[in-house]
Each structure stands twice: as structure tokens, then as C-alpha cells.
Amino acid sequence: MTDDAIQAGIRATRDALAAENEYDAYKMLAAVRARSVAKGRQVVSLPPRSVTAGPPPEAVFPAGVRAPAEDSILREIHATREAFAAAHGYDVRAMGEALRRSAAEQGRPAVPLPAPVTPPEAA
């Protein structure tokens, strides 16, 4: 990351605002609104949106098209994927290493990725 005085100032202001408001997003928003009103700026508030469940399947699919049925194969795939991830502590690198090791044990060739290209330093 580059040292930029403007970014540093913005981060310092943000961090001070967060600390003053106990890192509570709602308190921070209220503080920003209060500052804006105090400076004579126009503040627009929208009514809060309620969280609702999605529309029923008949509202999503066109007439004559049925919603996909619960699929036992998909349930099995999801359960296998979850068990594999849990067995490796949900660590992506550990899962990748396990898959590479399994491929090597089964004699499947591994296709290496090219080395990442690092951009030259700006002079």
C-alpha cells in the first residue's frame, strides 16, 4: 500500500468516528447525519426495508414451467462437499493440497498454473 496523506487522513477520521461510536454502525450513521444537519446540509432518509422471504415458485417460473424438485443427487453432492470442507477445517489451501495429493495417488496428471506476473515497480 502506498503512503498517501489524503488516504491516511480519511482513515484517521473514519477510525476516530468508529471509536467515538463504540464501533456501532447505527451510531456512526446517526453521528454523520447529525454533523450533516449541523452544517446545514440536506439529509434524506428512506423508510427501512423489511426482510421478506422470496416470492413463491409460481411467481418466479413462467406458466407451464415447474419449479425444480428437491433433488437427492444435489443433496448428496452438497453433503459430500460440506463433509470434505469440514474435514479440512474449511481451509481452502488444505483442501487444494488434499485434492492434489489424491490426484497424484491416482496417477492423474496435475496441471500447474503459470507463475503470477508481478508488475514492474513504478519509477
Non-local CB neighbours of 21 within 8 Å, separated by 6+ positions: 27, 28, 30, 31
Q: What is the pLDDT of residues 2-52, one digit of tens each?
A: 578 898 898 898 899 889 988 888 888 888 888 888 999 888 877 776 656
What the block records as the C-alpha cell of 116 is 503470477
Output the DSSP codes for 24-35.
Answer: -HHHHHHHHHHH
Q: What is the pLDDT of residues 56-98, one digit of tens each?
A: 656 666 677 666 667 788 889 889 999 999 999 989 999 999 9
What the block records as the C-alpha cell of 43 is 439529509
Is 0.85 surpassed by the pTM of this model? no
**How far apart are the C-alpha atoms of 24 and 34, rounded to whole Å?**
15
**How far apart are the C-alpha atoms of 76 and 71, rounded to whole Å?**
9
